[in-house]
Amino acid sequence: SRTNGVIRGAASDPVVGQVEGEGISGIMQTPSRETRRQTRKNSDEKSRLNNLDSYAAIDVHNINLIYLKRSLLEKLMVDADKFHDKVVGSIVRIRISSNDQKQDMHRLVRIIGTTKATEPYKIGDKMDNFTLKILNLNKIEDIAIDAISDQEFSEVIDALFFTSCTLSLFLDHMY
């Protein structure tokens, strides 16, 4: 209790109190071999994340971190000043036209820039003139946003299209 600026009560050693409060009494124990292994494993994982030039696994989870559907692109266009910065480096899904295929074929491509079309076109329920500059295989193309797929994907990605996916590519788009 506290009376006139004086604290009354039993004195205790803060270190012993802390140790006893954590369920350890008396003698400090040395860490077990498993504890040391876990500590080393955790520090290895942290150092791997610090090296942003390391290659990232190309799997559905990682691609979903940077994949943009058309509906999300339409929402991002509201802030025209930041649109370019938000979409460059992301992945979009385009349809590949082929006469001999009965089923629609799609390809995931990387956005490498944005441009303005000379004439506005209808995107969703509004008119705009943004186009995306994409890297389709080894060719740079300008495509309208209404040509982007609005569907999710779930199949495994062919690594041939993404020769240099690094951790920094994924982490930049996560936050």
pLDDT confidence bin for 124, thresholds 50/70/90: confident
- Domain spans, the chain: 10-50, 68-152
pLDDT confidence of residue 72: 92
pLDDT confidence of residue 6: 47
Percentage of the chain beyond pLDDT 90 is 18
How far apart are the C-alpha atoms of 152 and 31, rounded to whole Å? 47
- Size of the chain in residues: 175
Write down the architecture of domain 68-152 according to CATH: Alpha-Beta Complex (3.90)
Q: Is the pLDDT of residue 130 over 70?
A: yes
**Mean pLDDT of the region 23-51:** 60
pLDDT confidence bin for 47, thresholds 50/70/90: low
Both structure tokens of 36: 């040391």
**Mean pLDDT of the region 81-110:** 84
How far apart are the C-alpha atoms of 167 and 52, rounded to whole Å? 5
The residue with greater pLDDT, 27 or 134, is 134
Q: What is the pLDDT of residues 138-151, one digit of tens each?
A: 899 999 998 998 88
Both structure tokens of 58: 């190309």
DSSP of 44-95: HHHHHHH-TTSBPP-SHHHHHHHB--HHHHHHHTTSHHHHHHHHTT-EEEEE
